[in-house]
Structure 1
Amino acid sequence: MRGAWRAGGSTRPSRGRLSALRACREALASRPAGLVTDIDGTISPIVQNPAAAAVLPGCRDALAVLARRLDLVAVLTGREPDVARRMVGLEGVEYLGTHGMVRWTPDGLMVHPDAAPFAERISQALPSLLEQLKSTDASIEDKGLVLAIHFRQSTSLEGTRDTIIAGVSKVAKAHGLAVMEGRKVVELRPPLHLGKGWSLADLARERQLASLVYLGDDRTDIPAFETIRQWRASEPGRQGVALAVASGEMAPELADLADYTLADVPAVESLLRNLAREA
């Protein structure tokens, strides 16, 4: 196992009118340099059916170039890491899934030892969850360590969300689990410190990075944005940039923590292409 799997506030630096592209370019000039991105809503547009989502070709092409030129390019997502790897389809990229609790390796999936025991508890909670949500038109995705309840396709979004939150909270309390909400999805997960923030900090330590850029769009990315602030403030000379991808569902807290906000997924594609030309 590479790196020590262990638990990982500062104000953002004053950037004036510095553009997101220039800020990323200047940060990544400090080596070793890393770029880490979410998938859905960041390099892949949000769609009604999560199984139909696809990474924009320009994002994939740019990440392929950056993976050859930077010291680290990684994908950090709520999806399972083998699913993430199929979606992105690139060698030379690190894939961390289930919000960082599971990592893809050439020898198979590596589950964080603190999270592994919760797989059985999650499995035991599934029948109760199905019972609680039987009156809704939500769909349940079993990710092993997480049960994700998707309701983007619901005919009554607000009513369905309220029913899901109530039902999932009841099941979580009964089974000693936690609840996390994202963009039209609610997750039942282990009650651990592990998540995108911890995983991002662990990657930075493992690769001894001097600079780090993170891109995300969802409430689940907030811990990663917080990590960027804490990490760059913890040692002189560290460069970190947190980029939020805007949407009508964007959490205000994410916008507050971001150094820059990109308009949408095509704007991410443009940024990555420009970085790839200059990396």
Structure 2
Amino acid sequence: MQFSSTEGEHRYADLVRVAPHTVVGLDFDGTLAPIVDDPTRAHIHPDASEVLVDLAGEIAAIAVITGRPARQALDLGGLEDVGDAIAAVGKELFVFGQYGNERWTSTHRRIVAPRPPRGLATFERELPRVLRRAGLSEAYVEDKGLAIAVHTRRLDDPDQAFRDLLEPLKELAARHELVVEPGRSVIEVRSAGSHKGMVVERIAEETAAQGFLFAGDDLGDIEAFDAVDDLAGRGLATLRVCSASNEESALMSLSDVVVRGPEGVLDLLRRLTADARSARVA
């Protein structure tokens, strides 16, 4: 674990002091689950369930905030079982899917979601033509129900394919009043109804949080980092954690702490659990 500055160390110490009233927010891919070529095989780190349940005993709540559909995150992460264990210690696990458009909690165990956005079906019908024009028909297209994701990771040159597709997909999305969310070798198109920053604001208000930690790994987490920064301006103890990789570095300059992938995130959460427990019994 590497603090970005002395201020980052102070922020962590402040968070430990208010741990019983702190929410820990976590992205899924690249933060709890290693990045893999096939997104349907992105299972949660094998140690994550135990770490999250142990952490829940020392804080107010845990929120998994992901661009994935909530059902995918629940299944790939075994999060329904994790939610049961967290509920057993009197705490709450939230799962926000598709950038907050879907919501599941360990108390109300039903996914609440809106209808798909207008224009998405037409966008999907027109998408193959855009891919053919770019010579990238082999890009993997994922229908997420409320969004369409175009993955370039499996292509021969993922980074160049990403650059070649970004502007054409932005133009197509704009014609259908949709927004583009670039990620790590993926371009997602969805409605403008929600983003991770709005989820951070919402959950902090719902829980009357005095502290908030958010850990993420790529461009889709920037708005969450911005929201955490806003919470700090209102007097909350906060910590922004970058799960760093060789592929994406956009969050590093915005972070208070930089760790290495899901293993580093879990090490940080173990340390937070131990320090919060020591502070509580001191």
TM-score range, shorter chain: 0.7 to 0.9
Shift of 1:107: 5.1
- 1:23-172 matched pairs, under 5 angstroms: 23-24=11-12, 26-30=14-18, 31-89=20-78, 90-91=82-83, 92=86, 93-105=93-105, 106=108, 108-111=110-113, 116=114, 118-134=116-132, 135-136=135-136, 137-172=138-173
Which moved further from structure 2: 226-235 or 159-168? 159-168
- Superposed CA offset, 1:36-57 (max 9, x none): 1111111211111111112112
Tell me whether 1:241 sits opposite 2:239 in the alignment. Answer: yes
Unaligned runs of 5+ in 2: 87-92, 278-282
Q: Is the 8 A contact 2:142 2:150 kept in 1?
A: yes
Shift of 1:23: 4.7
Which moved further from structure 2: 65-74 or 95-104? 65-74
Seen in structure 2, the aligned counterparts of structure 1 residues 243 and 158 have a Cα distance that, compared at 3 Å, is closer
Seen in structure 2, the aligned counterparts of structure 1 residues 169 and 242 have a Cα distance that, compared at 3 Å, is same
More helix, by proportion: 2
* 2:225 corresponding residue in structure 1: 225
Helix, strand or coil at the partner of 2:111: strand
CA distance in 1, matches of 2:121, 2:274: 46
Shift of 1:34: 0.9
Seen in structure 2, the aligned counterparts of structure 1 residues 259 and 146 have a Cα distance that, compared at 3 Å, is same
Seen in structure 2, the aligned counterparts of structure 1 residues 239 and 71 have a Cα distance that, compared at 3 Å, is same
* 1:190 corresponding residue in structure 2: 191
Shift of 1:211: 0.6
Unaligned runs of 5+ in 1: 1-13
Alignment-mate amino acid for residue 247 of structure 2: E
Seen in structure 2, the aligned counterparts of structure 1 residues 210 and 141 have a Cα distance that, compared at 3 Å, is same
CA distance in 2, matches of 1:185, 1:200: 23
Q: Is the 8 A contact 2:102 2:111 kept in 1?
A: yes
Seen in structure 2, the aligned counterparts of structure 1 residues 88 and 24 have a Cα distance that, compared at 3 Å, is farther
Shift of 1:145: 1.6
CA distance in 2, matches of 1:104, 1:202: 14
Which moved further from structure 2: 156-165 or 124-133? 156-165
CA distance in 2, matches of 1:17, 1:159: 37
Structure-2-length-normalised TM-score: 0.83
Seen in structure 2, the aligned counterparts of structure 1 residues 168 and 276 have a Cα distance that, compared at 3 Å, is same
CA distance in 2, matches of 1:104, 1:169: 30
* 1:206 corresponding residue in structure 2: 206
CA distance in 2, matches of 1:80, 1:266: 23
Seen in structure 2, the aligned counterparts of structure 1 residues 118 and 55 have a Cα distance that, compared at 3 Å, is closer
Aligned-pair RMSD on alpha carbons? 2.1
Shift of 1:118: 4.8
Structure-1-length-normalised TM-score: 0.84
* 2:257 corresponding residue in structure 1: 260
- Superposed CA offset, 1:185-214 (max 9, x none): 00111134x201111111000100001111
Q: Is the 8 A contact 1:38 1:76 kept in 2?
A: yes
Alignment-mate amino acid for residue 51 of structure 1: T
CA distance in 1, matches of 2:274, 2:257: 21
Which moved further from structure 2: 215-224 or 226-235? 226-235
Tell me whether 1:250 sits opposite 2:248 in the alignment. Answer: yes
Aligned residues: 256
Seen in structure 2, the aligned counterparts of structure 1 residues 158 and 244 have a Cα distance that, compared at 3 Å, is closer
- State the identity as a percent: 27
Q: Is the 8 A contact 1:216 1:244 kept in 2?
A: yes
Helix, strand or coil at the partner of 1:54: coil
Helix, strand or coil at the partner of 1:272: helix
Shift of 1:17: 7.2
